[in-house]
């Protein structure tokens, strides 16, 4: 196995995205078509990213995949759906062009895939979106596919299609039964709102959570409120949110982000048996944000929660330091004082007695494990340097440095 093989390898990275208008519920489980459109912010890959190498060779005898250094089952239906779809697109494209360039190689060549996240899975961040976006993007590059990748990524994980672009991204639910119009598109690029900042408050996790795939399926089947939300509430909210993003209106953006997070969790609670992703620490963070804003007389920070207790906070650069100081006041870091803040540097800030009084909360030591400070970022990237490859010339994962 140590002999070198004539292989073509491509390595790409893809970002995590955080929805501000939430996706919850499928109208087609097989094609992964949603019951409503959604809108997300792409986070910067300096802090959070998936890196994937795909290598193809006529000498490979089977498809294989390694995730975070561990061999995984390539037969997983969602991985298979992505592979099938990308090969289908490659064949379609090949049939329409002259065969001159070295890429694309034959779509029938087997592929080796290695993928790693630069953030712990335990952080409860939606790693599947970055993972499947990266898989779709990397496979497209290695097989030379140039068409829209929404469907490839979506078949892996619905929200993954939103990680195919940087900045502010809309996933249009579409109307067609075959899902061809259920695609992601960029609403505004990452440079559009340079002051926007994102703080991920990683909450001390509970053990068992309802997975989002099963959760949203149960919600669709049992929650009367979810269907109403999808049909009667979200369409207007999508238009409103796009407007706020385009205008860089933080007041509107922040308020609607919080309302939509709350409504998503409300439909989870209306599910039977009910689903609760928020815990007491999440509720204290919600309380803190509303008190902080009330003290300032305007929406200076906004929260959103996905299918877990972690809070994602949006704010502007001039408010980060004060809000982080408020978080530290309410959730004093336990042992890891120096590792409490990760990502972008955050300066210290004094906390006025008036603000402390306005927060009016008993401190909950250790309620928040750490904070990741980040910002809006670009979409997937292809890395040029061969040393970035996660697979060696033999097509097997390189030993971890």
What residues make contact with its own copies under the rule CB under 8 A?
Answer: 224-225, 228-229, 232-233, 255, 258-259, 262-263, 265-267, 269-274, 276, 278-280, 283, 286, 290
Q: Considering beta carbons, is residue 26 or 259 the nearer one to its own copies?
A: 259
Q: Name the minimum Å distance from CB 284 to its own copies.
A: 10
Q: Name the minimum Å distance from CB 329 to its own copies.
A: 18
Q: Considering beta carbons, is residue 155 or 229 the nearer one to its own copies?
A: 229
Q: Considering beta carbons, is residue 273 or 345 the nearer one to its own copies?
A: 273
Q: Considering beta carbons, is residue 103 or 214 the nearer one to its own copies?
A: 214
Q: Name the minimum Å distance from CB 37 to its own copies.
A: 17
Q: Considering beta carbons, is residue 148 or 270 the nearer one to its own copies?
A: 270
Q: Name the minimum Å distance from CB 254 to its own copies.
A: 12
SS (HEC) of the chain: CCCCCCCEEEEEEEECEEEEECCCCEEECCCCEECCCEEEEEECCCCCEEEEEEEEECCCCCCEEEECCEEECCCCHHHHHHHHHHHHHHHHHHCCCCCCCCCCCCCCCEEEEEEEECCCHHHCCCHHHHHHHHHHHHHHHHHCCCCCCHHHHHHHCHHHHHHHCCCEEEECCCCCCCCCCCCEEEEECCCCCCCEEEEEEEECCCCCCCCHHHHHHHHHHHCHHHHHHHHHHHHHHHHHHHHHHHHCCHHHHHHHHHHHHHHHHHHHHCCCCCCCCCCHHHHHHHHHHHHHHHHHCCCCEEEEECCCCCEEEEEECCCHHHHHHHHHHHCCCCCCHHHCEEECCCCCCCCCHHHHHHHCCCCCCCCEEEEEEEEECCCCEEECCHHHCCECCCCCECCCC
Q: Name the minimum Å distance from CB 367 to its own copies.
A: 12
Q: Name the minimum Å distance from CB 259 to its own copies.
A: 5
Q: Name the minimum Å distance from CB 294 to its own copies.
A: 9
Q: Considering beta carbons, is residue 233 or 396 the nearer one to its own copies?
A: 233
Q: Considering beta carbons, is residue 213 or 262 the nearer one to its own copies?
A: 262
């Amino acid at each position: 196995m140590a002999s070198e093989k004539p292989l073509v390898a491509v390595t790409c990275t893809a970002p995590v995205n955080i929805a501000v208008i939430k996706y919850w519920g499928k109208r087609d489980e097989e094609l992964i078509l949603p019951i409503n459109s959604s809108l997300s912010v792409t986070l910067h890959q300096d802090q959070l990213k998936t890196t994937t190498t795909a290598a193809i060779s006529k000498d490979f005898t089977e498809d294989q995949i390694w995730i975070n250094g561990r061999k995984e089952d390539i037969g997983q239906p969602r991985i298979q759906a992505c592979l099938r779809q990308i090969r289908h697109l490659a064949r379609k494209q090949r049939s329409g062009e002259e065969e001159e360039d070295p890429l694309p190689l034959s779509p029938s060549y087997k592929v080796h895939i290695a993928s790693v996240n630069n953030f712990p899975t335990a952080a409860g961040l939606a790693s599947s979106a970055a993972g499947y976006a990266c898989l779709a993007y990397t496979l497209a590059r290695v097989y030379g596919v140039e068409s829209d990748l929404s469907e490839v990524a979506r078949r892996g994980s619905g929200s993954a299609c939103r990680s195919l672009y940087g900045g502010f991204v809309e996933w249009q639910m579409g109307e067609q039964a075959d899902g061809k119009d259920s695609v992601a598109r960029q609403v505004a690029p990452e440079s559009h709102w340079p002051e926007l900042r994102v703080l991920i408050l990683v909450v001390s996790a509970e053990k068992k959570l309802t997975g989002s795939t099963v959760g949203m399926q149960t919600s669709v089947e049992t929650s009367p409120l979810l269907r109403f939300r999808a049909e009667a509430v979200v369409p207007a909210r999508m238009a409103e949110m796009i407007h706020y993003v385009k205008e860089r209106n933080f007041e509107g953006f922040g308020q609607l982000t919080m309302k939509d997070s709350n409504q998503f969790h409300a439909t989870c609670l209306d599910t039977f048996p009910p689903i609760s992703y928020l815990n007491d620490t999440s509720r204290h963070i919600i309380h803190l944000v509303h008190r902080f804003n009330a003290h300032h007389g305007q929406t200076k920070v906004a929260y959103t929660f996905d299918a877990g207790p972690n809070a994602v906070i949006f704010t502007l650069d001039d408010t980060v330091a004060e809000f982080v100081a408020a978080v530290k006041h309410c959730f004093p870091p336990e042992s890891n004082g120096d590792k409490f803040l990760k990502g972008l540097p955050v300066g210290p800030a004094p906390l006025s007695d008036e603000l402390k009084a306005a927060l009016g909360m008993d401190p909950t030591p250790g309620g928040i494990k750490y904070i990741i400070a980040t910002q809006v970022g670009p979409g997937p990237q292809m890395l040029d340097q061969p040393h970035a490859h996660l697979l060696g010339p033999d097509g097997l994962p390189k030993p971890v440095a």
